[in-house]
Amino acid sequence: MDLLPLLQKVELFDGLSPDELQAVADLCSEQILHAGDTVTRQGEAGNEMYVICEGWVEVIPNPPPGGAGPRAVVNLGRGQLIGEMTLVDYGPRSASVRAISEPTVLQAIDRDRFTELCEHDFRLGYLVMRNMAADLSFKLRHRNLTGR
Amino acid sequence: MAPVYKVSYVVAGEEHPGAILNADQPPRVGDQVRLGSREFVVLEVVDLLPARGDFRFLHATLRPISKA
């Protein structure tokens, strides 16, 4: 499967050359999920981030103690990232993520191998980190607009 | 490359988490869009951020038109 057309349309990889995109594609492994399957569980260690190629997931953080039951804070579709925070902070998963469409197709990227690529190619590393900051900013703006 | 439209969708009038999606075409007022298993109609579309590279950043407000 030629991943380059797909990766070109992911903001995280905006500005990368075809060779750089191919280097990223070489790190990808496809995962096909069914509705209800879990992608990440809040609190667990995470060694991968994911790009959504097809379908939808919902992001569900644990509710605060004494709060209402868990509820989704956003649904993410094609071209969006899951688990990218672990790439920059090495922390545990900040929320649980579950597939809600049939099928949901992801590309998984190993954090350590991707970090190695960023450190080996400074231009690629700079662009990816800039784009990741922009993606996190977009998610914050979306969250603010939902009024939650 | 053709522009990629990264869209923040928010649903008005109900408890819905909204959605973020990359689309090949921008949403337009009156369009029907499907998020997961539900359909909505687009009420408003605004630029959320300046364009960068091949990406356009939009915010759309939706109203539900059906329940799953």
All domains in chain A, ordered by first residue: 4-142 (2.60.120.10)
B25 pLDDT band (50/70/90 cuts)?
Answer: very high
- ipTM for the predicted complex comes to 0.90
Angle formed at CA A93 by CA A103 and CA A78, multiple of 5 degrees: 30
* Residue A115 clears pLDDT 60, i.e. is over it: yes
Question: Two tokens at A137?
Answer: 């900013």
Q: Residue B3: what pLDDT?
A: 95
Convert the pLDDT of each residue in A23-78 to its tens digit: 999 999 999 999 999 999 999 998 999 999 999 999 999 887 877 888 899 999 99
Domain containing B43 equals 4-64
Rounded to whole angstroms, the Cα distance separating B62 from B21 reads: 14
Mean pLDDT to the nearest integer, B24-37? 91
What is the residue type of A99?
A: A
Mean per-residue pLDDT, A8-31: 95
**How many domains, chain B?**
1
Residues pairing with B35 in the sheet: B38
CB–CB of A76 and B20 under 8 A? yes
Say whether pLDDT at A91 is over 70.
Answer: yes
Q: What's residue B67's pLDDT?
A: 56
| Chain B residues bordering chain A (beta-carbon distance below 8 Å) | 1, 4, 6, 8, 10, 15, 17-23, 35-37, 48-49, 52-55, 57, 59
Q: Minimal CA–CA distance to A82: which of A60, A65, A113?
A: A60
pLDDT of residue A147: 67
Residue A87 CB neighbour total at 10 angstroms: 21
Q: Do A79 and B6 touch (CB under 8 A)?
A: yes
Token pair for B21: 């999606």
A55: left (phi over 0), alpha (psi -120 to 50) or beta: left
